[in-house]
Each structure stands twice: as C-alpha cells, then as structure tokens.
A and B are shown apart, each in its own frame.
Chain A
Amino acid sequence: MSGLLDPGAVDPVLRLTGVSREYGGALPVRAVDDVSLSVASGEIVALVGASGSGKSSLLALMGALDVPDRGQVHIAGLAVSAMGDRLRSAVRARYIGFVFQQFHLLPTLSAVENVGLGLLYSGVEARQRRLRADAALDRVGLATRRRHRPAELSGGEQQRVAVARALVGEPALVLADEPTGALDSEAGATVMHLLREIAQSGTAVVVVTHDREIASSLGRRIHLRDGRLVDDQVRA
C-alpha cells in the first residue's frame, strides 16, 4: 500500500488488522494480542471484558491515542498506525469523538465553552464554534443549561455535555469509555439513548462497558480476555 489513505477501506470506519501492543520493560505485558476487527458506520458495538483484559489499551489504539507494536489500524481509511503524533492529533480532531467515564469537563468553562473545545483543534473559528456548540447542546437536550458550569450540573447532565462535545465535530467514530460508570441507571439510560441516536445518524460507536445489561442491549458485542478477542457476536 502506498500512502496513508486506502481508498478501498473508507468503510468500515474502523479496521484493526493483527494489532498487538506491549507495555513495560523487563517483564512486558501484552495488553493487546493480535486483535483483528472492523466497525462500520452506523454500527454500535459493546466492548466487554474483565478488568485488565485490555479494553482501555484497545480503546487507545482505536482512538489513535496510541500506536500498536504490530499490526495496522485504519480510521476512515487512514493508516494511523503509520502516522506521527502530529498527524494522529489531526485524525483525532477530525474523525474521532471521545466520551469518558469521568466526563473530563474543564471546571472553569461553561457548558457551551466545553462543547466548543471539541472544535478548538480543528481550526474552526470562534463564532462558528459557538454556533455549532449551541446546536450540539440542543441535540443532547441541554440548550437551557448552556451557560452553566460543570459544578452546577448533575452527573447525567455533565455526561450529556461531554457527549455533545464528542459529536460537535461530526466525527466518523465515537469512542465511549464506561460512559455510564459514574451515573445512576436513569441518567445512564439517557446517555445510552443518545449514543444509540448518534449511531443511527451514521456514526460508528464503540462503548466500553462492564454493565451486562447495556452490553446485551447493543447490536454487537466484542469480548476481550487477556488482550485477546475471544468473542465477537452480532445479536440477531
């Protein structure tokens, strides 16, 4: 393959081919071991596994936050595993939205400013950022809370702000790391509903979760154990 773009691979949005990642020096731990999978646009996938099974490491590789020791990662057809830090940063800004368990909102910024951060590194000018952030907040049902600081919002509302931040850049891929882990079941259900809506609008969504109920409610479940993919089933 020449160049970073593989024209035949724009869809699936995410494709991993024989990906491995080791950590540590003297006694290396193979966190991700020869994983191959792909996720198409519009698909919503649960990534499950016990603690230490390599879920977070795999998510970091899927999100171009990290590069594999072996194998290839393609995002929207781009071979991110062959890219340097700067290019991978651009890929994250353009194609990927993240949702974290602890929300990661900046406490000094208002809701709309936090959402606007999602566009800060894509080179969108300030006025446009604000307009699109307003629209994204509206989409998660928080239009009336736009001026509130994170501390003034409930956990569920904070996570919805984080979801708005993830989707404001209209990413091809949304990666959610235990998005309901810090929420009560009702708020969790609202967030899962939002993620399903995002998938229905054509975005690929990967949700890391411990919650069996949530995992079984999603269309596809990928099971990881000791860094290996042990099960990948599409629910009928």
Chain B
Amino acid sequence: MSIAALTAITGLSATNQADVLADLDAQGANLLVVSPAVGVDDAPAYLRESAPAMTARIPGVESVAVVRAVPNRVHAYKSDLVPAGQTNGLEVVAVAPDYFAAVGSSFEAGRAFDEAGRSLPEAVLGSEAARLLSVGDVGQRLWVGGEWYLVTGILNPRPLVGGLDSSVLLGDRWAEQALWVDRSTSAGGTAGSEAGHIVSLTISTESHRLGEVRQVLAPTVDPARSGAVSVSGASALAASRAIVDDSLSLLVLALAAVALLVGAIGIANTMVVAVIERRGEIGLRRALGARPGHIARQFLLEGVLLAGVGGVLGWMLGAGAVLAVALFGGQVPVLPFYGVLLYPAVAVVVGVLAGLHPALRAARVPPTVALRSS
C-alpha cells in the first residue's frame, strides 16, 4: 500500500512537475536577452556582427533570434494624421522571419512575414502595440517612418521577452534596403554607419542549461569587451523554475520517505502480530528440531515476500492512479521508469528491515510454548 502511495506521489508530482516546467518554459523561462550596455556617453551601442554565429555555438543554445535597429527617425503611428510626438513609446525594430519561432511567440491573428514579406513594407505588432495603435486585425494599414505598411500579424502577449509586446516589427531586409539606404542616400546622414546593427539577441536555451549558457554568454558575444554586454533573462522565472525542479523533488523525497516509513511500520506490525498469533506453530517447529535461526529465517522470508508482493501490487495501483489522475486532468502522465524495478526492490529492503525485529522475536520464543498451549 505504501508502495502504491510512493508510486502515486512520485508519478503525480513528476506529471505535475513536467506540466509546470513546460508551462514556465512556454512563458519564456528558458530565454536570455543580450543587449549592449549603454555607455557613459549615452551613444547608441550595438552588438558585433559575429555575435549571433558565436552564440549559436554555445552548447545548450537552441536558437538565436536577432533584433536589428531601424533609423532613429522611424516611428509608428495609426495614420499620417497623428502628430509626430505621439509615438506611444512604441519601439520599431527589424527582425528576420524566423525571429518569432525563435522567441516562441504565437500569433493572435495573421502570421509572420515570409521570405518575400521580409523585403516588403509589412509589419507584425506586439499585443500591446496593436492595442495602442487600435489595430484589431491583419490587413489594416500603419503609418511608419513616413510610409504605409500592411499589418500581417498580431502577436499574443509575451511579457517575458523584453519589450516585444510594445514593439512594431518590420522585415530586416526591408529595413536594410529601404529605410537605411533611403535615409543615407537622400540625407547623407551619419546613420549609414549604424545601418542594420544588432540591438539585441534573444537566446533560447535548453532549460536546465540556462545557468551555464548565461555564464559564458557575455564573453562569447564580445570577447574583447564582455563588460559592455548586458545579459538579462526572466531571472525570477528561471529561479522559480529551479525552485520548482528542486523543491518538488525534495518534497516528493520527503513524502516518499514518510510513505516508506509508514509501510515499514505496517509490515513490522503485521509481523509482530503474526509472531504472537503463531507462537504455537513456532513452539511446534522448535520441538520438531528447528533452530532459532530456522525460525528467524522463515519469518524474515515471509516479511520479504509480503513486502515484495505488496511492492509489485502497489506499483501497479500507484501507476493506475497516476494514469487516471493525469487523464482526468488532461496532463501527460509521467512515471519515473525506474519505479518498476526500484520500488519493489525498495519494498523488499524495507521488508527485510521491518521483518528483522519480529523475526528475532520469533526466534526467541521458547520451545516449551508448544507444551504450554496444550
């Protein structure tokens, strides 16, 4: 029974744990954002062009999403009638089509711009940006940097990717070929030198390697000036992920220990009662020539069998419970596979420990009880 509890507890918690962790990952707990540290002179700073390729080589990194700058003058408005000052604080950046998958965002409406749209005046809006610009659906137009853009997609909220919700995302090739070139050729400004520079990287990691990736990230992005790189992440979430991972395991361990203890006490109690009830049999066996060791061995074996059979049955019962609960809760059942062999084995060990005392008691029953009880 206690093995059933053990299996159920570990199984249920593993199921829940997997669920919670998947949830946290979906929220972006496994994301890191790299951006240049703002210098003392407040000059715009950018990451090196080699950074994405270098970063992708760090073990544990699953994908790297690049965000590039657009010229300072480019802001987004609902229409050409909105005064230039009312930018709503929206940020306009340029990204590649694979950016959305890399940061794990999903679309409330529409889709990402494709390879063709990457070079066209199309925009994808973060959820907050869509609300502020009163854009309810794709197909609407947007006034950005003095031109009309077609809204092709609206994102679901993704608060953990810094700034994404209030961003207006343009195609990187369009930005490079139209925005930067346009400005640098027509006005001959200084912007040309910063054309399409990388303003941040969003890095998705294998969740359990987040910490190690984070440590090597800054030196990888800029080996010469790692201090000029700031790495941020959903650190609170990452921390809570670690806590969920550890504390649930610890909690489970504690519960399992209690379950085993209860089981051991149960077995020991059953055996002690058996020894008392079977004093006559013990006396008889002693009279027939059984040595104390024979009696102890017999009772120990019975305890082990009791525990072993109970362990197997308990595992089946517990596994059934986990399956049932998971199916009802719509979760994917997670059963530690080692349980099949481990728990019955644990049960046997517990059986030995719990049976030891009763067995020794049985061995001490004097053989004369066979005579006395008659």
Contact = CB atoms under 8 A, between A and B. Distances in A.
A208 B294 CA distance: 29
Contacts of B289: 89-94, 121-122
B308 interface: no
A42 B283 CA distance: 27
Contact of A98 (B292, B370, B372): B370
A89 B286 contact: yes
21 contacts: A56-B368, A59-B371, A60-B368, A65-B286, A89-B290, A89-B291, A89-B292, A91-B289, A92-B367, A93-B288, A94-B289, A98-B284, A106-B284, A117-B285, A118-B288, A120-B285, A121-B288, A121-B289, A121-B290, A121-B291, A121-B294
Interface in B274-312: 280-281, 283-294
A203 to B, nearest CB: 16
Q: How large is the interface on A (under 10, 10 to 19, 20 to 34, 35 or more residues)?
A: 20 to 34
Interface string A92-118: 111000101110101000000000011
A65 B370 contact: yes
A47 to B, nearest CB: 13
Given A104-B284, A117-B285, A65 B371 contact: yes
A178 interface: yes
Nearest to B291: A89
B interface, size bucket: 20 to 34
Nearest to B283: A104
Q: Which of A85, A86, A181 has the most CB of B within 10 A?
A: A85
Q: Which 10 A-B pairs have the closest CB atoms?
A: A93-B289, A121-B289, A101-B374, A89-B291, A65-B367, A104-B284, A92-B289, A102-B374, A100-B374, A60-B368
A63 interface: yes
A66 interface: yes
Given A60-B367, A104-B280, 17 more contacts: A56-B371, A63-B287, A66-B366, A66-B367, A91-B289, A92-B286, A92-B288, A92-B289, A92-B367, A93-B290, A98-B287, A98-B288, A98-B370, A106-B281, A121-B290, A121-B294, A177-B374
B192 to A, nearest CB: 97
B373 interface: yes
Contacts of A86: 291-293
Nearest to A181: B374
Contacts of A100: 284, 370-371, 374
Nearest to B287: A98
Contacts of A118: 288
A108 to B, nearest CB: 10
Contacts of B373: 102
A165 B287 CA distance: 12
Contacts of A122: 289
